[in-house]
Amino acid sequence: MLNLHFLLFTFHLVFSVNATPNYCEKLDANTDVITLPHTNQHITVACSRGWIVLQRRINGFVNFQRNWDDYKWGFGELYGDYWLGLEKAHRLTSSRQFHLKIEIENWKGKKGEAYYPVIVIGSENEKYRITQLGVARLYGISSDNFGQHAHTEFQVDTPCAKMLFAGWWWRNCYSTNLNSLYAFGDDRLRPCPKCINWLGFYSEVPLKYVQMTIQVADADAGRRSKH
């Protein structure tokens, strides 16, 4: 009997560890409290239609010209401009397979989406490098510019970061700069290299909306990308 109880306990423990976590399970929820993998730390995250929000730009109320610690631990508003934090993103994406979805819209109302079947963000020792990024599926976007930032280190104090006012996975200096300045006034309807941008997306007019979200790969089908 003792052995049976031990086996049942072991099965329960293994199942609990390997079971798919229900992050942002409620599709209409804007936030969720989750436990970071391999820790006892409970954190509140922003949610969007069943996905964890990694980054969001919607109104320009939050300054993204920040230091390393801010980008490491996260900042912003759960219901507005927001950065989850590189350490949290690393712990999540290195624990199991995650999808990445990037949604963009410019000031002329043009929309696009890039979907990546896998993303892994490395540890702080690796400077939070994007160590893995799957082949993109693009909708309304002509080129996978974010993919060109894969395998680069996150940077906050390099010449590119200073010139473009944000931390990012900079590479020569960018193909996407989704953390740069939010456009106001006349900059909204003309090319603005210092503003949040996706090169080649409708004449490089700045973006008024960006959202990067991640989701466990084997989450319920109803919570996956609409594509």
For residue 116, what pLDDT is reported?
Answer: 98
Whether residue 112 lies inside any domain: the answer is yes
Give the position of tokens 């007019």: 205
Whether residue 12 lies inside any domain: the answer is no
Q: Is it the case that residue 32 has pLDDT exceeding 70?
A: yes
- Mean pLDDT calculated for residue range 46-51: 97
Token pair in block for residue 218: 């084997």
Give the position of tokens 């996975």: 169
For residue 189, what pLDDT is reported?
Answer: 87
* 163-217 pLDDT, tens digit each: 999 999 999 888 899 999 999 999 998 888 899 999 989 877 899 999 999 999 9
Rounded distance, CA 156 to CA 86, Å?
A: 12
Return the number of other C-beta atoms located less than 10 Å from residue 93's C-beta.
24
- Mean pLDDT calculated for residue range 117-123: 98
Whether residue 8 lies inside any domain: the answer is no
Size (the chain), residues? 227
Between 23 and 16, whose confidence is greater? 23
CA atoms within 13 A on the CB side of 83: 25
Structural domains in the chain (count): 1
**Residue 108 in contact with residue 203, Cβ under 8 Å?**
no
* 76-91 pLDDT, tens digit each: 999 999 999 999 999 9
Handedness of CA 174, 176, 177, 182 (dihedral sign): positive
Whether residue 7 lies inside any domain: the answer is no
Q: Is it the case that residue 31 has pLDDT exceeding 60?
A: yes
Return the number of other C-beta atoms located less than 10 Å from residue 8's C-beta.
10
Average pLDDT, the chain: 89
Under the banding of pLDDT at 50, 70 and 90, the label for residue 66 is very high
Q: Is it the case that residue 6 has pLDDT exceeding 50?
A: no
Token pair in block for residue 59: 């109104």
Whether residue 66 lies inside any domain: the answer is yes
- For residue 26, give the CATH number of its domain: 3.90.215.10
State the residue range of the domain holding 63. 22-218
Helices of type H across the chain: 2-18, 68-73, 86-93, 159-163
pTM of the predicted protein model: 0.89
Whether residue 5 lies inside any domain: the answer is no
Whether residue 56 lies inside any domain: the answer is yes
Under the banding of pLDDT at 50, 70 and 90, the label for residue 8 is very low
For residue 10, what pLDDT is reported?
Answer: 41
Percent of the chain with pLDDT over 90: 77
Under the banding of pLDDT at 50, 70 and 90, the label for residue 15 is very low
The radius of gyration of the chain's CA atoms, rounded to the nearest angstrom, is 19
Whether residue 6 lies inside any domain: the answer is no
- Mean pLDDT calculated for residue range 148-158: 96
